[in-house]
Structure formats: C-alpha cells, structure tokens
C-alpha cells in the first residue's frame, strides 16, 4: 500500500506541475490537489513506518523528509 500511495502522489505531483505551468487550472483546484499530494506522501511514510519495522530504520532521514515535503 505504501508504494501505491507513493506512485499516486508522484503522478498527482506531475499533474499539479503541469497545471501550474499551463496557467489555465483554477488556483482553488491546484490548492486542493497540493493538499491531497501532501496527505498521500504522509500516508506513504506512515505505512512505511507501520509495516517496514526494522527496514524503515535503514532509510535515509533526508529521503523521508523529501517524501513528506515534496510538492
């Protein structure tokens, strides 16, 4: 499940970037999409922590920060 959330969030991030550069997507829609992206990344990190156990401790903390704060 964590990887599904990760891939979904990355896909939504690409759509968000496309909408920003196109300039024809309403700002409210972009804001809602950005919130959804952040929630998915946070859910992904949460799932990694809950299910990965000892393997999660081996992940680089900067990578986890990148996942959480990546727009």
Which of 71, 14, 18, 8 is CA-nearest to residue 43? 8
Question: pLDDT class for 3, splitting at 50, 70, 90?
Answer: confident
What pLDDT shows up at residue 32? Answer: 92
What residues contact 43, with CB distance under 8 A and at least 6 apart?
A: 5
Q: pLDDT, tens digit, for every residue of 16-69?
A: 899 899 988 899 999 999 999 999 988 888 887 787 776 667 778 787 777 777
Cut 0.75: pTM above it? no
End-to-end CA distance of the chain: 20
What pLDDT shows up at residue 70? Answer: 63
Domain count, the chain: 1
What pLDDT shows up at residue 25? Answer: 87
The domain of 14 spans 2-69
């Amino acid at each position: 499940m964590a990887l599904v959330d990760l891939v979904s969030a990355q896909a939504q991030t690409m759509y968000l970037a496309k909408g920003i550069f196109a300039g024809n997507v309403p700002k409210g829609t972009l804001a809602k999409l950005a919130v959804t992206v952040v929630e998915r990344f946070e859910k992904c990190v949460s799932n990694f922590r809950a299910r990965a156990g000892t393997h999660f401790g081996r992940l680089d903390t900067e990578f986890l920060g990148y996942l959480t704060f990546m727009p």
